[in-house]
Amino acid sequence: MEFFLCVLGMVMIIEGLPYFAFPEKMKLWVQKVLEMPDSSLRWFGFVLMFTGLAMIYLGKG
């Protein structure tokens, strides 16, 4: 559980950094994401999940 909380904390730091450092650019980026079709967002999400799973697999190996 301790390792999980550390990993979750690191993810939150990495996810929050762009919003802290570049709030104006992030607003523009979020607007562009809202304009993207659902199929593109689903494909991008799938690629991210698959890449994360591969990284975990390689890291545990």
Sequence spans of domains, the chain: 2-60
- pTM above threshold 0.75: no
CB contact at 8 A, 49 and 57? no
Residues 6+ apart with CB under 8 A from 18: 25, 26
In tens digits, the chain (61 residues) has pLDDT values of: 888 999 999 999 999 999 999 999 999 999 999 999 999 999 999 999 999 999 989 988 7
Q: What is the pLDDT of residue 1?
A: 85
